Structure 1
């Protein structure tokens, strides 16, 4: 679909920990079934004695706790993996989603090798305390091919659940919050420049279309995004935003403000080579240096070639 919005890849840490607990528990039960089937981990011999209490203790303490740590570690690694490969958005198509799944497959496979020795080592320290014995650690807790295979299916289930849940949330939030009618832009611009940003409102995470933002501001090293009626906290610095936003739509009028030009009403001479910038809602005014005005005029002139702009300059000749 032409000009369809791209789905942002946020890989956020879920605020609903109950979901993580449930998914992790399902994965642990799946792991325990596979390990029991292969005769590994002697703790499961309790099932043969119909010792359900001991089995539940083993599942919840010796397995769930450490696999939960693995899931948290994977969330952290997945974010850096996406950052390393510069995965910020994917096309809202079947092909785009399938490529997204395949791109993260090496990350999942590698995470098993990376985290299984850590979680199994910690598990052994707890289970065998204080009688540590190499013959117990190896081969029961040492990562081998059989154990890797046992972890493979649960890891795919757990970690793809995390990846696709984030993808689904980003998609629904994008659909639920359509942006303002965009200024003229090309399909190439959509691929190059960011069209969404992670933001927080009342400590709740959201995906904010950048064209909904009137302006970005920094105050005492805290960063904000202002929309109609709401103020969001963001984590990106203005220098990062300036590099990621479309310069035909956003302009840094001073050290503290990046303005969405769609909301620019006018800029007029004030004093001492400074200009006063007014917005369409008449609720905010900013000060801009003459040197920045020259750059802004060039941008507005380029925009006028494709569509008239409502901003006007009342500066002296």
Structure 2
């Protein structure tokens, strides 16, 4: 596979960012509890218990940052459209150049998502005591600072490139599976064509005849098995049945009625009641 077609299936569904964020939050929480259990337990007590702690975590962190990731991944998706990135060559150098092109997007994404994220955080955290002054000063003006920017930079770059590479890997695996299925289908088709071609050169099986082909005859010298086609005719004399051959006359055990039923009608026909004649002998 020389190139990877960029369908961006993962990036087109920004809801996938929720899974990434929740995984990171759960990992951080698990690490913080395992490293500083006493500190975390004290913090939970200060917040009024585990229910209040989880509520604050949702309102101040998880839900606002879902908006952050939603906007970031949407920017990555639309950046593909703006640059008309539809495919990337399947080698490390090309993939590296492809990913470097998105670094500026992640650097400037803060200036796009920050006002939206902070607005969501304000609405959730300060409910129902809203103040326009607090909103503007604490959640907008004060957040446009380098300290806040660099706080966001690493996780945004990490999660952005994680989403970008998951999308790229999905496209690669999907196209490789398609290529394998196509190759298998072509191989099966070629095998069928080869089998059909070889069948034309094979001798056709002979269908066994359903008509009588051999008879046993008897004369003064003994018995003889002979092909029925060698007989000129079959007849009856004095209640005995005979086959007339080039070699002579032989007594047979079958009656004319039996012979008429068992012989090939295209080869033999009956004359009156006493004879069944071979057409080739006429």
Alignment TM-score, normalising by the size of structure 2: 0.51
Q: 1:49 aligns with which of 46, 49, 55?
A: 46
Q: 2:87 aligns with which of 60, 71, 89?
A: 89
Deviation at 1:137, TM superposition (A): 5.3
Residue in structure 2 matched with residue 72 of structure 1 by the alignment: 70
Root-mean-square deviation over aligned CA pairs: 3.5
Q: 1:9 aligns with which of 6, 10, 22?
A: 6
Residue in structure 2 matched with residue 138 of structure 1 by the alignment: 137
Query: Does the 8 A contact of 1:46 with 1:54 survive in 2?
Result: no
Structure 1: stretches of 5+ with no match in the other structure = 33-44, 182-211, 213-227, 229-317
Residue in structure 1 matched with residue 163 of structure 2 by the alignment: 162
Deviation at 1:92, TM superposition (A): 1.0
Q: List per-residue Cα deviations over 1:235-258 (Å, max 9, x = no partner).
A: xxxxxxxxxxxxxxxxxxxxxxxx
CA distance in 2, matches of 1:55, 1:9: 42
Task: Kindly tell me the number of residue pairs found equivalent between the two proteins.
Answer: 169
CA distance in 1, matches of 2:147, 2:54: 24
Residue in structure 1 matched with residue 20 of structure 2 by the alignment: 23
Deviation at 1:46, TM superposition (A): 4.9
Residue in structure 1 matched with residue 178 of structure 2 by the alignment: 177
Q: List per-residue Cα deviations over 1:120-169 (Å, max 9, x = no partner).
A: 11210221123234346533563321111111111112111111100000
SS at match of 2:159: helix
Using CA pairs below 8 Å that are at least 6 residues apart, which structure has the higher relative contact order? Answer: 2
CA distance in 2, matches of 1:82, 1:153: 22
Query: Does the 8 A contact of 2:8 with 2:167 survive in 1?
Result: yes
- Pairwise mapping of residues 1-317 of structure 1 onto structure 2 (< 5 A)? 4-13=1-10, 20-28=17-25, 46-47=43-44, 49=46, 51-133=49-131, 134-135=133-134, 138-139=137-138, 142-178=143-179
Query: Does the 8 A contact of 1:46 with 1:52 survive in 2?
Result: no
Query: Does the 8 A contact of 2:64 with 2:120 survive in 1?
Result: yes
Deviation at 1:48, TM superposition (A): 7.5
Alignment TM-score, normalising by the size of structure 1: 0.45
SS at match of 2:101: helix
Report the structure number with the largest CA radius of gyration.
2
Deviation at 1:52, TM superposition (A): 3.7
Query: Does the 8 A contact of 1:8 with 1:90 survive in 2?
Result: yes
Structure 2: stretches of 5+ with no match in the other structure = 30-41, 190-282
CA distance in 2, matches of 1:24, 1:87: 26
Query: Does the 8 A contact of 1:28 with 1:67 survive in 2?
Result: no
Query: Does the 8 A contact of 1:28 with 1:59 survive in 2?
Result: no
Query: Does the 8 A contact of 1:11 with 1:78 survive in 2?
Result: no
Deviation at 1:55, TM superposition (A): 2.6
Point out the structure with the larger strand share. Answer: 1
Deviation at 1:19, TM superposition (A): 5.5
